[in-house]
Amino acid sequence: MQYYCTLFDKGYLTRGLALYESLKQIGTSFHLYILTFDALSQQILQTHRLEYVTIIPLSEFENDSLLSIKATRSRTEYYWTCTSFLIKYVLETFKHNLCTYLDADLYFFGKPEMLFEEMGTADALITPHRYAKKHEKLAATSGIYCVQFMPFRNTKNGMHILNWWANACFDCCPEVYTNGCFGDQKYLDDWPERFKNVHVLTHLGGGIGPWNVEQYELMNDKLIVKKTGESFSPIFFHFHGLKIYHNGTLTQGMPGYQISSEMFEKFYRPYLKKLHQMCKEISTATVNGLEISAQNQPKTPILKTAIKKILGRPLSKTYSWEEVL
């Protein structure tokens, strides 16, 4: 069994539920620890009674050190600061041999067992962004590696790496690139040299995202690297930048990302369908006897696309779920 942890607030609640559903659908043996940053997320998760989930309330997670800096950081900066502390919390509290952090906006299309097999006996694993050529300059500010799928082993060296990372994020975790730092992510750049027994993932199916997907093409159920012809199976896609706002608009993060129609069909449409399903389930949930209505539920699902080449339609057009799905 693999043990995972993730964190989110109500803004990413449907994404967190979709992540959980994807792990179930691929038929892997897992348990997911979820740190919730607000009461509404916690209550809705509790009403779902998810079979393979342990909910970690914020009140049980936060310690005096984290509380001492909370007011000095933006919401995003604080969440990023908490990432390493969450992995530590799970390993130390539940005594697992290994725990893997997952970003809440990941979605699994294949079993991750081969990623753990590749990791072998390493104490930590990091995944490169593998930027498409036009996005390579992002490495200077966003980092070589992505905080998205990060297994840590509960060993002396694994905890040494994790504690170093937590201390670094505690000292500085800026939302905007500042003096060589960017959130919790830029710290990973020198890990293969700084620490021993850190594995850099080579399987291309681990870490597909909008910053690298345009260098691949689809052939049956495989992805092909356009330059080399190498084929691989997708394991997970990172839907970074996909934001659904309460006023019913959707954007795809950086305007430079281009998603082809075939990649939209392969990855985005199934994911949007799952988010739609999660939104509907939340809309029929009750919390303490109160039905979750459109006024108090998380981000609502009417879409205005800013994904330039998804469907070849005007940037300003507003789409209903039915049109996009």
> What CATH number corresponds to the domain at position 157?
3.90.550.10
Query: What is the model's pTM?
Result: 0.89
Does 254 map to a domain?
A: no
User: Would 35 be classed as within a structural domain?
Assistant: yes
Asked if pLDDT for residue 120 goes beyond 80, the answer is: yes
Please say if the pLDDT value at position 262 is more than 70: yes
How does residue 273 score in pLDDT terms, banded at 50, 70 and 90? confident
Total residue length of the chain? 325
pLDDT of residue 255: 56
Instruction: Give the amino acid at 101.
Output: Y
* Tokens encoding 312: 């070849």
In a domain, 15, yes or no: yes
Mean pLDDT confidence for 274-280: 84
Query: What are the C-alpha distances in Å from 226 to residues 203, 213, 216, 237, 263?
Result: 16, 11, 6, 18, 14
Query: What is the extent of the structural domain holding 107?
Result: 2-240
Specify if 309 maps to a domain.
no
Mean pLDDT, range 305-315, rounded to an integer = 35
Residue 243 has pLDDT above 80, yes or no: no
Kindly state the average pLDDT of the residues 294-317: 36
312 lies in some domain: no
**Is residue 267 a part of any domain in this protein?**
no
Which of the residue ranges 185-189, 253-257, 259-263 has the most confident prediction, judged by mean pLDDT?
185-189
Structural domain count, the chain: 1
Report the distance separating Cα 209 and Cα 213, nearest Å: 6
SS3 of the chain: helix, strand, coil, percent, to 5 = 40, 25, 40
102, β-bridge pairs? 149
Any domain includes 271: no
Name the residue among 289, 300, 281 with its Cα closest to residue 49. Answer: 281
CB crowding 233-256: b at 16 or more within 10 Å, else e: ebbbbbbbbbbbeeeeebebeeee
Predicted pLDDT at 322: 53
Q: Which residues contact 166 (CB under 8 A, 6 or more apart)?
A: 84, 85, 88
Which whole-number Å values give the CA distances from 319 to 191, 279, 281, 293, in the listed order? 44, 16, 21, 22
Give the pLDDT confidence score for residue 221 in this predicted structure.
Answer: 86
Does pLDDT of 77 surpass 70?
yes
Rounded mean pLDDT, 27-52 = 93
| Mean pLDDT to the nearest integer, 242-263 | 66
Neighbours of 140 (CB within 10 A): 13
Domain membership of residue 294 (yes or no) is no
Report residue 316's pLDDT band, with 50, 70 and 90 as the boundaries.
Answer: very low
> In which residue are the tokens 């509790």 written?
46
